[in-house]
A and B are shown apart, each in its own frame.
Chain A
């Protein structure tokens, strides 16, 4: 690059590095229908698999007759647990240390559980085969309510665990109990409550829902008998982990397993785990010698692969009369369904729920979580959330509003009074985390000012008076949320999955002509990694982002990584990119010194090359340096220019934000209008503001859905109510509010580029803001806590119970 021609600004702009609203490279193919998703894949001779599923939530399987199915034209095989036992795969381990049936082994534990896998020449024949399989059931009593799981006379769900008094996370108190997990100072917390001037206690439930990406979970398994190699194409957020799991389960050596995750149509946590469909497709391919495709339909997706939440959080806060919090005590009853298949780091059966002290300076706290089995689908994935952080944020942010109501204090004032102060960072929370950085007061004040908070409260007071006078039937709610997340799992000292440390990785290779490829251990599902990762490299090594290809998802070519979930791509993989790039820059500096005939220490980095300090005209651009690395490396130096980094983060990152929702509710219809939603996010250094804002829009829309209606509900005999898009609330463009985004920037001190991650913040912070708005609207009529989701019917019911329709 000729620096004499271009200004510094022009050189910066040409890179399209960090901070730039770079347009996405992915969009060229996606806007033309040329994405490459799993169901687009067609291999020669490919077969199709489909499941026979349980009609009942809890039943003994008396008989499975596959003979008629085998006579259906096009059907080639039917797998049941009996067949899978032959290869020791009737059960599979879960990420949570439990085991899960791949196909029903003697009984079923939830509606739509997998019973048999029909393999046929196409998807229509497979569906015909499914219809022809006969299953005889003996119904068993059902547990739907987790509060009844540990009753003395409760039916025993997991007969395979009979007599086992301990599980993967310690002692089991009951045959339907999975684990108890505690953290914090119990005695100290009890003492704080004993001497408290004011306390609140509330059961705050976060209902069961589902991530429901628009593309369901799918795979194609292809086993090559001659080479003994298995290739699995799939919707995998964590392709390397899937490869390792496949190696451990199948006994096929890991180097002979190729896992490929092509374009993924959204994940939101749904595509982290390993599901029976993957195992069955692999076994079916081994059995038939042909590639086998498995594609979930939407009902299967909503009812079987990975629900989220279902946390019932009894939340207590102790405080002084003037509103200083003195203690937090939370007990969680966690409904894990029929198998414990939560996707959490091994040592954290309740994920990072211990972030429940939130943004507040609690001197002492204690948390206990009891996980129980019920006759519901397994899962408990982090739906756009860093592992139970959403649940924690909901508990504390509702709790603070309930406390404010009891104290007669403004909820904003209560929060400002209890925030961790800027000078307290790095801050050690009562439950053991080290918050890296934050400036909560600045963010909160900016948010309050942006929405005109005082004026809104005045308007609300006037509307309430008018309501009492009978002049309006509309009530107004102002929902505040100030959340702190914990993301970027995580340091190997405490975070692993299946024993694998939760590092992530990047390999950058520069080509002689000055372009590059960066290969990653993470995997985009729509986050735009191909665009943003290249921006990091561009800023770090001065190569234009357009000249950098980012590749993910092929375990043969990518360095090992733990994948994309829990907002870990930027905090962990993003750090690995910067570190790999810096290794390259260090070598480039040596080459530049050789070319300029000076000592390395005489050089300084300048946008896109090295300059001799004090001699601005003595400059070597990266393009020239890269060529030299391949053409004429300094004597004694290895040619080439590439680097790998495996980044083990020293700490998690702690993004935060202030969200404010203004809502009006008609008490006669229950219909709500979101008048305004303002979201201020602080995710540290901002790599691509356009993409950040897009992430926030999307996360807020998911939060809106969850808070205002989206639910996986079961009737009393365990039938899923709302297991298709007919009933499961996914907002359209009409219902979705308009979003206002804003930001502050408090970089992470330990992250190489100061970035914290943002993708999940809006889901974490959005749900409490909506729920607090509804609760705030009704509170002057005497309500204390209204359970989510707040759909029109439920709002109407609340109004009705308050006697507003008399």
Chain B
């Protein structure tokens, strides 16, 4: 199948590549760019394990073609840690509040939470639950994911950090 040129910025790096028009964005990220943090969990856009940030919106990268994002800016989980390698507030929150177990949904969940907190820096529990309802987790029952996002929200707002729940 004939390939077409696509350009995008991924985690601040300019990418130019030739792709088959039918190549899904998730496959392009994972297999061409070796960014394997975003995962494939369902094939029907329900689980959100493939969530990445695209020009300021959360998108499910299994439901877009790579060609569709021509000219766009993408952030994946690999672009989330601080430049010095330390964990970002959300990554730290997920660890401190035990917001993950098998880790498979985690990159998508963190990318979704990242956008949620950009849109709403001080969400209520209900707003968090609604805000991550496009992302499925089979391990945690979400309770500690909610806490993890609250932890990050507080840290990002500069609110005093409470100790992780005992």
| Interchain CB contact under 8 A, A736 and B141 | yes
A24 contacts across to B, CB distance below 8 A: 95, 98, 100
B46 contacts across to A, CB distance below 8 A: 724-726, 730
| Interchain CB contact under 8 A, A31 and B87 | yes
Instruction: Indicate whether B117 reaches chain A with its CB closer than 8 angstroms.
Output: no
Instruction: Indicate whether B120 reaches chain A with its CB closer than 8 angstroms.
Output: no
Instruction: Indicate whether B20 reaches chain A with its CB closer than 8 angstroms.
Output: yes
Q: Choose from A27, A297, A702, A736 the contact partner of B94 (Cβ within 8 Å).
A: A27
Q: Choose from B40, B44, B146 the contact partner of A726 (Cβ within 8 Å).
A: B44
Q: Choose from B81, B103, B141, B146 the contact partner of A526 (Cβ within 8 Å).
A: B103
Beyond A31-B110, A734-B129, A739-B143, is A694–B98 a contact (Cβ under 8 Å)?
yes
Instruction: Indicate whether B64 reaches chain A with its CB closer than 8 angstroms.
Output: no
The 8 A CB mask of B59-92 against A (1 = contact, 0 = none) is: 0000000000000000011101100000100011
Please give the distance in Å from B156's CB to the nearest CB on chain A: 16
| Interchain CB contact under 8 A, B137 and A214 | yes
| Interchain CB contact under 8 A, B104 and A35 | yes
A695 to B139 CA separation, bound complex (whole angstroms): 7
Beyond A526-B139, A698-B140, is A213–B102 a contact (Cβ under 8 Å)?
yes
Instruction: Indicate whether A37 reaches chain B with its CB closer than 8 angstroms.
Output: yes
A40 to B37 CA separation, bound complex (whole angstroms): 9
A695 contacts across to B, CB distance below 8 A: 101
Chain A minimum-CB-distance residue to B49: A214
Please give the distance in Å from A3's CB to the nearest CB on chain B: 27
Please give the distance in Å from A647's CB to the nearest CB on chain B: 25
In this complex, which of B31, B77, B101, B129 has the most chain A Cβ atoms within 10 angstroms of its Cβ?
A: B101
Chain A minimum-CB-distance residue to B143: A697
- 13 A-B pairs with C-beta separation under 8 A: A23-B98, A28-B87, A30-B103, A31-B103, A124-B22, A214-B136, A214-B138, A215-B102, A266-B102, A266-B138, A725-B44, A726-B46, A730-B136
B78 contacts across to A, CB distance below 8 A: 32-34
Please give the distance in Å from A451's CB to the nearest CB on chain B: 18
The 8 A CB mask of A255-288 against B (1 = contact, 0 = none) is: 0000000011110100000000000000000000
Beyond A214-B49, A299-B43, is A697–B141 a contact (Cβ under 8 Å)?
yes
Taking CB atoms and an 8 Å cut-off, the chain A residues in 617-635 that contact chain B are: none
Taking CB atoms and an 8 Å cut-off, the chain A residues in 660-719 that contact chain B are: 690-691, 693-695, 697-702
Please give the distance in Å from B99's CB to the nearest CB on chain A: 9
Instruction: Indicate whether A460 reaches chain B with its CB closer than 8 angstroms.
Output: no
Measured CB to CB, the residues of A under 8 A from B are 21, 23-24, 26-35, 37, 39-40, 42, 123-124, 212-216, 263-266, 268, 297-299, 525-528, 690-691, 693-695, 697-702, 724-726, 730, 732-734, 736, 738-739
Instruction: Indicate whether B36 reaches chain A with its CB closer than 8 angstroms.
Output: yes
B47 contacts across to A, CB distance below 8 A: 214, 298, 725, 730
Please give the distance in Å from B16's CB to the nearest CB on chain A: 21
Besides the known contacts A24-B100, A32-B37, A725-B136, 9 further A-B residue pairs in the complex with CB atoms under 8 A apart = A31-B87, A32-B91, A690-B98, A695-B101, A697-B140, A698-B138, A698-B139, A724-B43, A724-B46
In this complex, which of A214, A264, A738 has the most chain B Cβ atoms within 10 angstroms of its Cβ?
A: A214
| Interchain CB contact under 8 A, B44 and A724 | yes
Beyond A21-B166, A32-B77, A734-B133, is A37–B104 a contact (Cβ under 8 Å)?
yes
Q: Choose from B44, B103, B130, B138 the contact partner of A35 (Cβ within 8 Å).
A: B103
| Interchain CB contact under 8 A, B100 and A27 | yes
B42 contacts across to A, CB distance below 8 A: 298, 724-725
| Interchain CB contact under 8 A, B43 and A33 | no
| Interchain CB contact under 8 A, A526 and B101 | yes
B135 contacts across to A, CB distance below 8 A: 732-733
Chain A minimum-CB-distance residue to B148: A31
A23 contacts across to B, CB distance below 8 A: 95-96, 98, 164
Q: Choose from B22, B39, B144 the contact partner of A694 (Cβ within 8 Å).
A: B144
Please give the distance in Å from B132's CB to the nearest CB on chain A: 5
Instruction: Indicate whether B41 reaches chain A with its CB closer than 8 angstroms.
Output: yes
| Interchain CB contact under 8 A, B98 and A736 | no
Chain B minimum-CB-distance residue to A33: B37
Chain B minimum-CB-distance residue to A40: B36
Please give the distance in Å from B52's CB to the nearest CB on chain A: 10
A268 to B139 CA separation, bound complex (whole angstroms): 9
B27 contacts across to A, CB distance below 8 A: 123
| Interchain CB contact under 8 A, A32 and B138 | no
Beyond A733-B129, A736-B142, A739-B143, is A33–B76 a contact (Cβ under 8 Å)?
yes
A752 to B143 CA separation, bound complex (whole angstroms): 32
| Interchain CB contact under 8 A, B81 and A32 | yes
| Interchain CB contact under 8 A, B35 and A33 | yes
